[in-house]
Copies of this chain bind each other. A is one copy, B any other.
Amino acid sequence: MARLAGVSTATVSRALNGTGQIAPATGAAIDAAVQQLGYRPNTVARSLVTKSTQTIALLLPDIANPFYAALVSGIQERALAAGSTMLLCTTEGDPEREEQYLSLLRAKQVDGVLVDGLVLPPERIADFVREGLPIVCLDRDIDSTSVPLVQVDNRLGAQIATEHLLSLGHRLIAHVAGAPGLRISAERIGGYDDALAAAAVERRRTHVAVGSFTEEGGYGAMRALLAGSPPTAVFAANDLSALGVMHAIAESGRRVPEDISVVGFDDLRLAAHTTPPLTTIHQPAFEIAQRATQLLLDLAAGREVPQRLHLLEPELVVRGSTAALA
């Protein structure tokens, strides 16, 4: 122990943490000892007394979804700046596992948890915050007033996407929706409806197909759409769906964008490299993540967070998958 090479454990603690005053000479001696032994304070002992583990958790269904993955760097950046690390917990959309994890995380004394896409009843989540576990929700919201939320303005994004298609002359615009029952899906349908209504374009029920935010979902939904009266453009609820949509279109012998235009939502890194490159709605994932993390850190530090809802701006990115109606 560094104390052998120096003085008392209390002084070492103070020196290393920069709390209290230490004589220059003692400081140097301690530094030397630390250097020599390669001493690193045991953080778990530290956590036991300080009540802070310098650890936050990210709880979401599946990190293989590129959008979720895109959130990580923003979290990491903020967390690292605060000296914290991040536990990643994936739930596969299983509410039991969500609860199990939340309970485990509390036992582990994490400083807080970031949640995305949970399916657990909001009141169960509220129970945890009531017990003192800081939670903030990002991206996909839960129906709760007890948890701050930061996400993109989904309704606006969907509206912008649809308006883009309208401005290209399209009138037969389909929507491949997200997973049913989620508020985020409903918001995007809402934006789509808003845009159509504003342009006085009839909104055909047969033109909104239900997907699941996955390639498979988009693929299936688009095949169904093509089997009916094919649209000239489609707004997919996210980029992954859009991939499936384009796959189905190509398979049917049609071309994107010559025969059918498609616009996605998310602006994943790979959207720039699909064939053709995907026109989509950009979500500021990095900032969403940063903002949410900062909020969580504030909460954990006992600071009050002013507003509950943080909406960020979506942005249209035009690439090669949309074209004017022939």
Contacts and interface: CB of A to CB of B under 8 A. Distances in A.
Interface residues of A, number: 55
Given A57-B85, A243-B274, 12 more contacts: A40-B106, A40-B107, A43-B108, A43-B109, A58-B88, A63-B63, A63-B73, A73-B90, A243-B270, A243-B273, A247-B273, A250-B275
A197 interface: no
A104 interface: yes
Nearest to A97: B80
Contact of A44 (B62, B90, B108, B274): B108
Contacts of A88: 58, 72, 76, 86-88
Interface string A264-306: 0000011011111100000000000000000000000000000
A163 interface: no
Nearest to A107: B40
Interface of A: 38, 40-45, 47-48, 53, 55, 57-58, 62-64, 66, 69-70, 72-73, 76, 85-90, 92, 103-109, 131, 215, 218-219, 240, 243-244, 246-247, 250, 256, 269-270, 272-277
A223 to B, nearest CB: 13
Chain copies in complex: 2
A49 B92 CA distance: 33
A229 to B, nearest CB: 23
B72 A64 contact: yes
A85 B87 contact: yes
Tell me which of A70, A270, A272 has the highest count of chain B C-beta atoms within 10 A of its own C-beta.
A270
A53 B107 CA distance: 12
Given A87-B85, A273-B247, A63 B53 contact: no
Contacts of A41: 107
Nearest to A92: B73
Contacts of A38: 131
Interface centre among A57, A246, A272 (most CB of B within 10 A): A272
A48 B86 CA distance: 20
A204 to B, nearest CB: 26
Nearest to A109: B44
Nearest to A214: B269
Given A69-B64, A85-B104, A109-B42, A275 B275 contact: yes
Contact of A87 (B87, B92, B107, B273): B87
Contacts of A73: 62-64, 90, 92
A268 B109 CA distance: 36
